[in-house]
Amino acid sequence: MNKTIKLILTVIGVALTLYGIFKIISPEASVDIGVAEFTEQNNKDAYITLGLGVVILLLSFFTSKK
């Protein structure tokens, strides 16, 4: 059962970390006006998702240390 919990936490942690990285890299809104292109990006939620993913990954590594 401990291996199952570790596997689930690892998968969730990796998924959240990758999703957070994707949200940081990809722009949220983009406007193209002929010669100029403007992009707006708010990374607050992406940083929270990335941090949560890293914390869950660390938790999964320390669950088997008992």
50 within 8 A of 20, measured Cβ to Cβ: yes
27 within 8 A of 41, measured Cβ to Cβ: yes
Residue 32 backbone class (left: φ over 0; alpha: ψ -120 to 50; beta: rest): beta
Q: Note the pLDDT tens digit of each residue in 10-59.
A: 999 999 999 989 888 886 777 777 777 777 777 888 899 999 999 999 99
Distant-in-sequence, close-in-space partners of 16: CB < 8 Å, separation ≥ 6: 49, 50, 52, 53, 56
- Which pTM does this prediction carry? 0.74
